[in-house]
Structure 1
């Protein structure tokens, strides 16, 4: 019996990401009238653009937080750019009427920092891992905690070895 690989890979193509971000927009479309999107950079930029287009949202703000400093291990969080106070003050303040969009919630550490900035905002991600799920309001696809998602902006064209070590055809 073959043992499971230590790290599970979930490669996401541009087509998959577009489809899943549109699915996120469909879920969000019936939940309210959104005044703005705050995307968590950098991963939230592409999904936020797709959601903004689908929902007709013109105000898009960023919050810039670095957490993966070596593309493998989540390190100390660093807020590089906070949310513009004009966006925080929409709909009575604290992020009311604001969608926060990211590509993935992993441990929820980044979402927790942004929730402190925008406690009334609606948090949505395309992908979610179990530990981070409680920190988001809406997501499309859940993957296991030990899965590494390879986003299309991180990948190039190369051979992918099969899961099985038996390559005898």
Structure 2
């Protein structure tokens, strides 16, 4: 649900999963065949996992990090892992790069360029996200929702960003 001022988008688990299914349909209806899904951890892990299951394709993972401060609400320096975890040795062929959103586009653009220059076995690379913000400098190949007002997206699992094991003990009275 988008707030009236357009500054916040609150997403339930059901909405989140419906959007991932719509993303899968966009990729499927394009007719593009791919060999591997490469998700960007952490935001792309849930969509990547579901797309991997729907398309029955191996899931590779690359860690990136730019949101760290204030429970993941302040963007900082971008770190991109040097290695990709994949069940099939080396990532190769046609690769679908998956993340949750194209926010500023900085992360996706940097990863896209790094993959194209450092991973010669990748013959074709396309990108898929749930949301693309109006300020994004990167235009994904597949996206479900365009957000011209650039709201902060409150994803259903972000309450874990500020949760601790002690808080879980209190919650569950263990």
TM-score class normalised by the smaller sequence: 0.7 to 0.9
Cα-to-partner distance string for 1:10-42 (whole Å, 9 max, x where unaligned):
011111111000110011113322110100110
Instruction: Tell me, in whole angstroms, the C-alpha distance in 1 between the residues paired with 2:83 and 2:130.
Output: 22
Aligned counterpart in structure 2 of residue 141 of structure 1, from 121, 145, 157: 145
- Aligned pairs for 1:92-107 within 5 A: 97-107=94-104
2:118 is the alignment partner of 1:117: no
For the residue of structure 2 that corresponds to 1:86, the secondary structure is coil
Match of 2:79 in 1: 78
TM-score normalised by length of structure 2: 0.75
Distance 2:159 2:138 in 1: 29
* Runs of 4+ residues deviating >3 angstroms: none
1:22 aligns with 2:21: yes
Offset from partner CA, 1:27-72 (integer Å, 9 cap, x none): 1113322110100110101111111122121x11111111111122
Unaligned runs of 5+ in 1: 92-96, 157-169
Give 2:35's aligned residue: 35
- Counterpart of 1:46 in structure 2 is 46
Gaps of 5+ in 2: 117-123, 161-174
How many angstroms does 1:112 deviate by? 1.1
Are 2:154 and 1:150 aligned?
A: yes
Residue 55 in structure 1 maps to residue 55 in structure 2? yes
TM-score (norm 1): 0.77
Cα offset for 1:80? Answer: 3.4
